[in-house]
Amino acid sequence: MSKPYSESCDQNKAPILALIGPLFRDAASVLEVGSGTGQHAVHFAAALPHLTWQTSDVPANLPGIRLWLAGAGLPNLPEPIVLDVLGDWPSGPFDGVFSANTAHIMGEAEVAAMFLGIGRVLAPGGRFALYGPFRMAGHHTSESNNRFDAWLRARDPRMGVRDLDDLRSWAEAGGLRLVEDVPMPVNNRTLIWERVASS
Ligand SMILES: C[S@@+](CC[C@H](N)C(=O)[O-])C[C@H]1O[C@@H](n2cnc3c(N)ncnc32)[C@H](O)[C@@H]1O
């Protein structure tokens, strides 16, 4: 098998790193949900050697992630773990969580489960950075996102660009609150959530 490759990862890794570098400056451990190819993990772990970057995904993607990790040979990239958001979660706690382009691929129940799971494994005060296209108050932020959403839903009705209001309510159930909404290139955003300390 050859290494899987995602062109969008190559294009968005630099602007994402510019944002999560400072965000995870004091973190020792970050969990990535839905690592995909593993390209993001290699780029971020190389630039952030002070932390351990834990990749994860559904079983089918682990062999590809392993190839990227083996090629990088970085000490802060442990073996990828199986993590289906509807299944068992690692025990944690992690100081940070990252996920890119997952919320529009997962069904709504899975996105809600992702927030619940992250609420359990993220340390109080820790940040979850969620990158991707999002709708704001029922409106797409661009015509291209509108077309992308229609294309996704035609492919699989469970998929679709998620609305920030829905994300907020799923996040609240997981004990997370939105602290920053950062516009990114090509009509994407990074939503930064904080694990609220339990009272
Ligand atoms: C479009 S890919 C994005 C991959 C990578 N994060 C990136 O930015 O290139 C969507 C990812 O979500 C993952 N995913 C879909 N359903 C999932 C689930 N139930 N639990 C965990 N990951 C899931 C897929 O396996 C895939 O890796």
Q: Residue ranges per domain, the chain?
A: 7-103+113-195
Query: Quick check: 46 and 72 in contact, CB under 8 A?
Result: yes
Question: Is the CB of 6 inside a 6 Å radius of any atom of ligand 1?
Answer: yes
Residue 150 to residue 99: CA distance in whole angstroms: 22
Instruction: Please name the residue whose Cα sits nearest to atom 24 of ligand 1.
Output: 34
Q: What is the mean pLDDT of the chain?
A: 97
Q: How far is the CA of 107 from the centre of ligand 1 (A)?
A: 11
Residue 197 has pLDDT above 90, yes or no: no
Per-residue model confidence as pLDDT tens digits over 69-110: 999 999 999 999 999 999 999 999 999 999 999 999 999 999
Q: What is the CATH number of domain 7-103+113-195?
A: 3.40.50.150
Three-point CA angle 8, 144, 128, nearest 5°: 55
Q: For ligand 1, is residue 27 a contact (CB within 6 Å)?
A: no
Q: Which tokens sit at 52?
A: 């351990």
What's the CA-to-centroid distance between 103 and ligand 1, angstroms?
Answer: 8
Which ligand 1 atom minimizes the distance to the CA of 113?
19
From atom 23 of ligand 1, which residue's Cα is the shortest distance away? 34
For the entire predicted model, the pTM comes to 0.98
